[in-house]
Chain A
Amino acid sequence: MIENIPVLIVLLPLCSALLCLALTAVSRNLGIFAVKLSCLASFVLSCIQLQMVVTGGTIHYAIGNYAAPYGIEFVIDSLNAVLLVCFSLMGFLTILFAENFGNEKRPMLVGAACAETALLITGILGMTSTGDVFNLYVFLEITSLSAYCLISLGGSRGVVSAYRYMLVGTVAATLYLLGIGVLYSVTGTLNMGDMREILDQGGYDGAMLTAMCFLIPAFGIKMALFPFHGWQPSAYTHAEPGSRPLITGVMGKVPALAMFRFVYCIYGTDFRFVRIGLILLGIFSVFGMLYGSLMAMGQTDIRKILAYSSVAQMGYISLGFAIGTPIALAGAFLHMLGHVFMKGGLFFCTGAIRYKFGTVDINEFGRIYKKMPLTCGLLTAAALSMIGIPPTAGFFSKWYLALGAAGQHEWIYIIILVISSLLNAVYFFRLIEKVFIRQSSELRTRWESEVLELPLTIIIPVVICFIAIFGLGLFNVRIVDILLMTLEGVGL
């Protein structure tokens, strides 16, 4: 049992996803309950696994006992152990949250949405744990296909944005497949560790460069990095409201992790053209950070603001990869962790406000804090964290990024980092102004209760995100230490 933890974390949501529809047909809440239980179980198991990795070192799990270079392998180092805890927690919170947004009259549709969310969680957790490049492709497609379905559930706009995302996303997946095809043709292996060893013998520069030309756009599209982000704003805006925190918070991070694996774990910093790749990434992220923030300033729909701000935030993460020192990489991963709760939390708030008042226009948010103190608390904390004010998670991740950039004498990156943070401040303070200071507007309540401002299943995610934003900030040294256990060996 205990040695099967890595695969159980991925398998439990998968089983519940497959059972969900059948159980919903039996009784309307049973399917959702099974999914909730499995997600909670994988969260608990990933916490145990993190403890095991911290004390015992990297775990290699051969699926079906087929030994590593031939069979599929799950490799859990300290990096993806931390990320798994964070992603599975977010998955659980989203499932809790999502049950408030179903159509009461059509229980099967609610069950289907729940099953899709569980499949999305499966794909995300699988992509995080796998150590096999083709297995990564399969999980990537599981993630994408369930995301297309979830986005298309968000009304007529959602269907069109899902279709556009599907076209672009499939181009990305095909490019990825072509990239690993090129690597496979020279190495004859699909295992990441094995591939690294063979590529390290040298003489494969041409094939590696060709593969890099396919892989960077592939991951760029999937993580919505600046010039490839075209699908992202409308998809994030029109996605199904229940699963939106998971789609916006986690889905973009996993391809970023895969990109890190390819650049640093498979190619390595000894690769002759690695500098070119990193400079290219740096250019993309610098422009993305400015463009995303500028576009977000012009929007009035809160979902659009947050979607464009995600373009900028992905820029921070890839900036860390572009700098490449261990401390900058740790900053990038801390930002990844923090951003899961910031963006997820902001979308929990948006969903909660929409649930109670049915509006997403920030001009109607006047003095909403009196009616929803908890939600506005999280909104403020997440906004401050996005801007980068201590002691929130966002400050420390940007601090580590700046520290790494200073170590490499990349002053231009620090300047852009500061400018982008100031631009963030402009539109997030506008949001805070609407919530706290502006004349209160007449909003009709759609949900009445004497004691709570919202149903308990919305309050729990809101409170946990609030705690996580400050927790990641206050305990950043411990987390960075755990991340550095892996990152020390791979950075520049």
Chain B
Amino acid sequence: MMTMINTFLATKGIYFLTLVLLALGVAGIIVCNNYMKKLICMNVMQVAVIFFFLCLGQKSPGTIPVAMDTAVKASQYINPLPHGLMLTAIVVSLGTTGVGLSLLLRIREKYGTIEEDDLIRREDLMTRKNKDGGDRK
């Protein structure tokens, strides 16, 4: 029984860890009140998926996919494709983080806060003010 659990954890355990990381990220996005923290949680979530792909590309008696005299069979090399895919995903997440940070700067400039509660209160205030203005017209 114990050996079964051990082998299961040794082969599949890493996937559960990435799943925990993903769940942490999603929970953080839902729970955190500060928009900066939400952005950080979003990054944690993206990193979880990157880990997931990298684990797929890993195998133990394998080496980097560069042609070598000592390794002649395909089975001796690891699959480079997941790493290639994840390079793209990292670039995408970099872009998303950049856009997110610049949006945060704008929010801070216009509302003076990045706390969600304050932001919602200020938006309500703006709506009410607009309505009053409309009535006076």
Q: Which residues of A contact B (CB under 8 A)?
A: 134, 137-138, 141, 145, 148-149, 152, 156-157, 159-160, 162-163, 166-167, 170-171, 173-174, 177-178, 181, 184-185, 361
Please, which residues of chain A bring their CB within 8 A of the CB of B39?
167
Please, which residues of chain A bring their CB within 8 A of the CB of B20?
none
Q: Which residues of B contact A (CB under 8 A)?
A: 22, 26, 29, 35, 38-39, 42, 45-46, 48-49, 52-53, 56, 82, 85, 88-89, 92, 95-96, 99-100, 103-104, 106-107, 110-111, 119, 123, 126, 134
Pairwise interchain contact A163-B100, C-beta atoms closer than 8 A: yes
A149-B99, A361-B134 in contact; A156/B110 too (CB < 8 A)?
yes
Selected A-B contacts with CB under 8 Å, 5 pairs: A134-B85, A134-B88, A152-B103, A160-B107, A171-B42
A145-B99, A170-B96 in contact; A163/B123 too (CB < 8 A)?
no
Pairwise interchain contact B111-A167, C-beta atoms closer than 8 A: no
Complex: how many Å from CA A138 to CA B38?
Answer: 23
Pairwise interchain contact B56-A171, C-beta atoms closer than 8 A: no
Min CB–CB distance B131 → chain A (angstroms): 10
Complex: how many Å from CA A178 to CA B22?
Answer: 10
Complex: how many Å from CA A25 to CA B126?
Answer: 36
A145-B95, A174-B49, A184-B56 in contact; A166/B29 too (CB < 8 A)?
no
Please, which residues of chain A bring their CB within 8 A of the CB of B89?
137, 177
Pairwise interchain contact A174-B106, C-beta atoms closer than 8 A: no
Pairwise interchain contact A157-B123, C-beta atoms closer than 8 A: yes
Most chain B CB neighbours (cut-off 10 Å) among A134, A141, A173, A174: A174
Pairwise interchain contact A148-B103, C-beta atoms closer than 8 A: yes
Complex: how many Å from CA A105 to CA B29?
Answer: 39
Please, which residues of chain B bring their CB within 8 A of the CB of A159?
103, 106-107, 110
Please, which residues of chain B bring their CB within 8 A of the CB of A167?
29, 38-39, 42, 100
Min CB–CB distance B64 → chain A (angstroms): 19
Please, which residues of chain A bring their CB within 8 A of the CB of B48?
174
Partner of A141, one of B29, B53, B56, B96: B96
A152-B106, A160-B107, A171-B29 in contact; A178/B100 too (CB < 8 A)?
no
Please, which residues of chain B bring their CB within 8 A of the CB of A171?
26, 29, 42, 45
Please, which residues of chain B bring their CB within 8 A of the CB of A181?
49, 52-53, 56
Please, which residues of chain B bring their CB within 8 A of the CB of A148?
99, 103
Min CB–CB distance B37 → chain A (angstroms): 11
Partner of B92, one of A141, A157, A166: A141
Min CB–CB distance A259 → chain B (angstroms): 20
Pairwise interchain contact B88-A160, C-beta atoms closer than 8 A: no
Considering only CB atoms, which chain A residue lies closest to B104 in the complex?
A: A163
Interface of B, secondary structure class, is helix
Please, which residues of chain A bring their CB within 8 A of the CB of B42?
167, 170-171
Considering only CB atoms, which chain B residue lies closest to A152 in the complex?
A: B103
Complex: how many Å from CA A160 to CA B56?
Answer: 37
Complex: how many Å from CA A145 to CA B92?
Answer: 9
Pairwise interchain contact B107-A163, C-beta atoms closer than 8 A: yes
Considering only CB atoms, which chain A residue lies closest to B88 in the complex?
A: A138
Considering only CB atoms, which chain B residue lies closest to A363 in the complex?
A: B134
A177-B89, A178-B49, A181-B49 in contact; A163/B56 too (CB < 8 A)?
no
Please, which residues of chain A bring their CB within 8 A of the CB of B49?
174, 177-178, 181
Pairwise interchain contact A156-B88, C-beta atoms closer than 8 A: no
Please, which residues of chain B bring their CB within 8 A of the CB of A178?
22, 49, 52
Complex: how many Å from CA A283 to CA B34?
Answer: 34
Please, which residues of chain B bring their CB within 8 A of the CB of A173?
92
Complex: how many Å from CA A138 to CA B91?
Answer: 10
Pairwise interchain contact A174-B45, C-beta atoms closer than 8 A: yes
Complex: how many Å from CA A303 to CA B96?
Answer: 27
Complex: how many Å from CA A162 to CA B104?
Answer: 10
Min CB–CB distance B135 → chain A (angstroms): 12
Complex: how many Å from CA A156 to CA B122?
Answer: 11
Pairwise interchain contact B95-A166, C-beta atoms closer than 8 A: no
Please, which residues of chain A bring their CB within 8 A of the CB of B82?
184
Pairwise interchain contact A163-B103, C-beta atoms closer than 8 A: yes
Min CB–CB distance A142 → chain B (angstroms): 9
A159-B106, A171-B29 in contact; A166/B56 too (CB < 8 A)?
no
Pairwise interchain contact A166-B103, C-beta atoms closer than 8 A: yes
Complex: how many Å from CA A162 to CA B42?
Answer: 15
Min CB–CB distance B100 → chain A (angstroms): 6
Considering only CB atoms, which chain B residue lies closest to A364 in the complex?
A: B134
Please, which residues of chain A bring their CB within 8 A of the CB of B107?
159-160, 163
Additional A-B contacts beyond A152-B103, A167-B38, A174-B22 (19; CB < 8 A): A138-B92, A141-B92, A152-B106, A159-B103, A159-B110, A160-B111, A162-B103, A163-B100, A163-B103, A166-B96, A166-B100, A166-B103, A167-B42, A170-B45, A174-B45, A178-B22, A178-B49, A181-B53, A181-B56
Min CB–CB distance B24 → chain A (angstroms): 13
Pairwise interchain contact B111-A156, C-beta atoms closer than 8 A: yes
Considering only CB atoms, which chain A residue lies closest to B100 in the complex?
A: A166
Considering only CB atoms, which chain A residue lies closest to B119 in the complex?
A: A160
Please, which residues of chain A bring their CB within 8 A of the CB of B99?
145, 148-149, 166
